[in-house]
Amino acid sequence: MNDGFLKYPWLSSARIDFVRGGLYSGSLALALVFSGRPMAHSDATDALSSILSAPLPPSLRLLRLSGFMPTSDPEFLAFVKALTLYGLHVQVVIESEQAGPWLDTVQWITLRTKEPVLLFQPNEVWYEPADGSSIKDIVMPQLPNKITFMYFRNGLSTTETEAFFRASKYHWQLL
């Protein structure tokens, strides 16, 4: 699968793999990692038809997008919207600076952050505070009837992690 998709300069990699980390950990997904380059209309159309015609297992309806997505590119936005219209469960793994109105077109948002203040409520937060800093609790807007799954980067000292978990208003799981 990877060979056919690498002809697109806007993709760094494409593979069918098991998701690592988060709520969907262990699920089989098509993972597309973007390089940050803009998409051409013909490339986007060709990639969409390749994804839809690929011999994927019927249970594989999960598509995870990550990397440097060209979020201001209209072709990218149309590509993501088309993927959702064809029934794929589109997830994105983003950094805070990639947030924007384009996220309304996806079904699942995983936000990787080092900062404790969030401007929106994603479906998952992967909190990765810098080593040696005092760990502050996440502050984010709370929407009614929306649950956010909280994950904390493993690797800090047990004492720091335990103190953070006890003081936090959220229920955390280790990544």
Rounded distance, CA 86 to CA 71, Å? 20
Q: Which domains does the chain possess?
A: 1-97 (3.30.750), 114-175 (no CATH)
Give the residue ranges of DSSP H helices in 61-130: 74-85
- The predicted pLDDT at position 5 comes to 65
- Can you spell out the DSSP letters for 102-121? GGGG-SEEEEEESSSB-SS-
The H or E element containing residue 50 is helix 41-53
The pTM (predicted TM-score) of the whole model is: 0.86
Backbone angles phi, psi at 66, to 5 degrees: -150, -175
CB 4 within 8 A of CB 50: yes
Q: Per-residue pLDDT tens, the chain, 175 aa: give them.
A: 445 666 788 888 888 888 888 888 888 888 899 998 888 888 888 888 887 776 666 766 888 999 999 888 888 888 999 988 888 889 999 998 888 888 888 999 999 998 899 989 999 999 988 776 678 889 999 888 888 999 998 777 888 888 888 889 888 988 7
